[in-house]
Structure 1
């Protein structure tokens, strides 16, 4: 049987279909920048989004199940062959999967004229296909321990299904179970996968340099922290304003902060490609602390600022960190961040901090403008830097 590398090299079609991360990372980045510009224009009254959802609901839905789902697909399609030793999904099956994602984005955007059940089917198709394809590979490769990662992707799909059920019943979507389940699934994915890749990548980078403290390995503490994280998120999804949820969220925030401190991130400041992973994960405990505080003291801590610590902070920065690094490594490029890649991180960090600050200071509307501009510029630079890598064959 040919290896994954041989399978990729033997693909004679367009280079962008030669590896799973290529179409999905590029599609996610282009979509994220355009969607933000469209949303800002809609809020400014320049045009109307022809969606069945309101502007805020469309923005939240497409961040989770448009942008994030595409990044998750790119990551999983790249990681699963390494986990299982089986051939990667390339070529026409990959094109079919990407097309189902693009079809979902078109359907949601023009959903004002679609029957709700048809809309739900078109939108849910992508993640259902992804889970089916990856599940087959994981089972065939007998890689049982990574089924839990696929189950978390299934929870992301479930959140989207709940969102559509709430739409059918006429419930308030922006405050519904579906959105919270989608956010919770994303944060749990970051906690689990981030707990693998951040200390591993940091250790590999530090081991080639001066001796000193290295990240601590996965231990019982990590298992307990992930368990507490899952429990806090589950209760937040079910009862977001309860005192017990607030207490568990604060405890999970403290646990994840301690977990991050064990990974020696301060020693990686000279390499942005590594340090951005730690900066991104910092927004996970920050989000827990803010969301927990908002549950306990809603008049002092606005829920909008709390939620955006997770979305504009942890999810945005971690996805960009993963996309920039994985794209370099699997394109045969050196694993180091030049000034352009560092600019992506700085712009995204400005966007995240500005959006959180805007929630804490509702009267400072200029912060929203800074956040939106930083977001758009970050993805514009990403596309300018990485599109050439995605559109040409891998460097030998």
Structure 2
């Protein structure tokens, strides 16, 4: 080992020995001398601390009792000082002077309804005056109402925070429940919501609508609906690229946008399809495809297409049958000819039998003369007077009316 390192090691061992000696001396003094002297002092200090803590606890309850009693005593008595403070505070927040006599008349919990009503009337208009902009201000700055509302709201929030802090300090933080009582009552009765409902109209007119108009003017957020976009493209008011862009912005992919385009296409009515078939501009398959687009199954589309094609023919057949029945009743054609027409019109045997039975009954229907014909036959001597009167009674005349009617015709 070099000589220098040996000297340093020896010096370190010497210092370690010295430190051990000093530590041993201090421990001896602490255990033998200082310990017995400090123990009585520490015991006295602990006793004093416990006594102070116990006394403070007892004093806190006594102070809280007297403080609470004093607060509730003052709340049930006229409070001129409190009234002055409230009036000054409301004047500073609302910017309007409140008559102190309204507040001084009686204690806060016993305010009459008239006092509360007059106080509300005195507060409402000044408060609205603070936040509602004039029509001129709205024209110059559509956001004036919102700006004023936020500034007044911030001022009231800061004032409320200061008043809350003052109450906490004044009550030493011991009657926080009393501070929260008005807020809890307001929450239970829904007064905050009712205030929002009552002020909704002026807020909507003075704040929301002007701001909405202003931002609509700047950003133009209104969009065409999907149906309007399809209609505009169908009428060639927009290009195909614009159509695809607008539909994509509405969330439609390429397949869906053209499905919607197809769904919005107008459909042919039955009368139009029938006319197109008659002109031979479309065939039966085209009609079936058109009907399938309406939701008909393939089988039903085929049946309805054939019906549309042959409907005019069926109408003509029905008219031919009607004319044949009339001619048979008039005796122009025979029963065999009518039977042939009915079979061609696909009348069943039962239907043909019932029709001939009806025609036979109509042949047996009794023919009746009219009152004028009865009177004319009587005057010509073809009917006796008594028989003419009887015929009129059969037609619904009373006996007196029948006699009177015949007498009039005799003149």
TM-score normalized with structure 2 length? 0.20
Q: Which has the higher contact order (CA 8 A, sep 6+)?
A: 1
| TM-score normalised according to structure 1 size | 0.20
